[in-house]
Amino acid sequence: MRRRTRTSAVLCLTTFAALLLSATPASAAELPTGARSLESVNFPGRYVRHQDYLGRLDAVTSGSTAQVKSDATFTVVNGLASPSCYSFQARNGQFLRHLDWRVRLETNTGDATFRADATFCAVAGSVAGSVALAPVNHPDRRVRHRNFELWVDVAQDTATFRADSSFRLTAPWTPKTTRGPVIPGLFADPHITNINGRYYLYPTTDGYAGWASPYYKAFSSTDLVNWTDHGVILNHGPDVSWADNSAWAPAVVAKNGRYYLYFSGGAASGDTGKHLGVAVSDSPTGPFRDALGRPLIRAGAYSGQAIDPMVFTDDTGQSYLYWGNGTAYVVPLNADMVSFDPAEVRDITPVGYREASFVFKRNGTYYFMWSENDTRDEDYRVAYATGTSPLGPWTKRGVVLQKRLDLGIKGPGHHSVVKAPGSDTWHVAYHRFAVPAGNGANREVAVDRMTFDANGLINPIVPTP
């Protein structure tokens, strides 16, 4: 009975995913992500903007008010329903979506309907360099202007319709003035690492109710500012037989000339909790394949959820797997990186521990860091301890990253740490409620400096907006 329920739920999800996939227009175009404005092709000087939460096409000039310019500026981001399409986030944090065929601005609820209604696939527009936007769930329609209002109408094969539905992406009327987020859109739980001199970022894809996203993307950078999107590197649906959703908190480590991605996932039935798995690839940007065909740690094998894996490799070459939610565990990994001796698992839970263990070593001292409170709570924060071995014992040193309401920063946590090669320069990647108007399921990724005092203790981390 249980099996049948799970099977039909899987079928439902698979059908929806297949629908979304087949809905993606064939002549897909790629858009640059980041801040942009969208200018009409047949009414140059008029731009997509929102007014009273409705989409319009209005004139914007250098003399327009700051509000008008801001209302005509969007961040092109990863599609909320499909990574091969796009969503458009306004400066107030809301997204363009269609409802009753009118384009409007609303807050992302994270449910499947909203995400689909707010995801548009880019296809070639009427003139070179322009694009048309097809709703991912209605590929026969296009975003078009009619009486200078934005509607989602059935595409017509006429020159007028093609022009009314074509836009040029231009420089934004209101340029970005903040450092964050470092990757446009909704992502969380960033795992940052440096492989052969290049920085890689592996986040959870966010914006899904219940953190239900099924896939991971990889990003890379040489300067921690400009990031290249390498696309989807592992998708629970097709790639992992035992997980369908909840693609949470990946961590990648290089070893033996290969790349190992540790991750968590849940089954569509939702009745078995989260399992922890490991995938392998010959490249840090994947594609990754499930290494075992089964979880490395099954839900329920240890108390707390089997989530938030992280691997630290000591100077001896020995790698250790850390994970946990409520309880923090560590175990030495076998040389194959995909197995361990269960008898070696240790509980290293510090006071205040919630999840997101991260371990690194500096000047002979081991640092064990973690997140406290709930990721939906603005008091989500990062604390740490120091120790003399990867297994402890640990001495708690306190909280180093927490909310800064004066800067509009809430819930900074689930971080990771990276050292610039050949230096003593350290950075921390973490997520926080998206600024503005985010919450515990609409989070963004930031990167800031992490410094130490003369005694090797971590100075309070100053989050930049």
**Shortest CB 407 distance to ligand FUB, Å:** 20
CB of 237 closer than 8 Å to CB of 214: yes
**Shortest CB 254 distance to ligand FUB, Å:** 22
**Residues identified as active-site:** 189, 355
Nearer to ligand FUB, 105 or 348 (CB): 348
**Shortest CB 192 distance to ligand FUB, Å:** 15
Q: Is 208 in the site for ligand FUB (CB under 6 A)?
A: no
One of 244, 355, 372, 378 touching ligand FUB (CB under 6 A): 355
Q: Is 204 in the site for ligand FUB (CB under 6 A)?
A: yes
Number of residues that bind ligand FUB (CB under 6 A): 12
Q: What are phi and psi of 29, to 5 degrees?
A: -115, 155
Give residue 168's region: left, alpha or beta (phi > 0; psi -120 to 50).
beta
Q: Is 202 in the site for ligand FUB (CB under 6 A)?
A: no
How many other C-beta atoms can be found within 10 angstroms of the C-beta atom of residue 226? Answer: 10
**Shortest CB 380 distance to ligand FUB, Å:** 8
Residues 6+ apart with CB under 8 A from 364: none
Nearer to ligand FUB, 97 or 274 (CB): 274
Give residue 92's region: left, alpha or beta (phi > 0; psi -120 to 50).
alpha
Q: Is 414 in the site for ligand FUB (CB under 6 A)?
A: yes
Give the tokens for residue 419. 């050292």
Q: Is 444 in the site for ligand FUB (CB under 6 A)?
A: no
Q: Where are the alpha helices (DSSP H) in 188-249?
A: 236-239
**Shortest CB 356 distance to ligand FUB, Å:** 5
Instruction: Report the C-alpha gap between 460 and 385 in whole angstroms.
Output: 14
Beta-bridge partner residues of 331 = 321
One of 58, 117, 189, 372 touching ligand FUB (CB under 6 A): 189
**Shortest CB 306 distance to ligand FUB, Å:** 10
Residue 457 exposed, middle or buried by CB count within 10 Å (0-12, 13-18, 19+): middle
Nearer to ligand FUB, 34 or 270 (CB): 270
Radius of gyration from C-alpha coordinates of the chain: 23
Q: Is 308 in the site for ligand FUB (CB under 6 A)?
A: yes
Full DSSP string of 419-457:
E-TTSS-EEEEEEEEPTTT-BTTBEEEEEEEE-B-TTSP
Q: Where are the alpha helices (DSSP H) in 204-251?
A: 236-239
One of 85, 307, 369, 401 touching ligand FUB (CB under 6 A): 307
CB of 148 closer than 8 Å to CB of 58: yes
Q: Is 244 in the site for ligand FUB (CB under 6 A)?
A: no
One of 118, 134, 201, 249 touching ligand FUB (CB under 6 A): 249
One of 75, 285, 375, 416 touching ligand FUB (CB under 6 A): 375
Q: Rounded to whole angstroms, what are the CA distances from 59 to 148, 243, 337, 444?
A: 10, 49, 58, 31
Nearer to ligand FUB, 356 or 445 (CB): 356
Residue ranges of E strands in 240-354: 245-255, 258-266, 274-281, 289-290, 310-313, 319-324, 328-332, 346-347
Nearer to ligand FUB, 164 or 444 (CB): 444
Nearer to ligand FUB, 122 or 278 (CB): 278
Question: Which residues of the shown chain bind ligand FUB in the complex (CB under 6 A)?
Answer: 188-189, 204, 211, 248-249, 307-308, 355-356, 375, 414
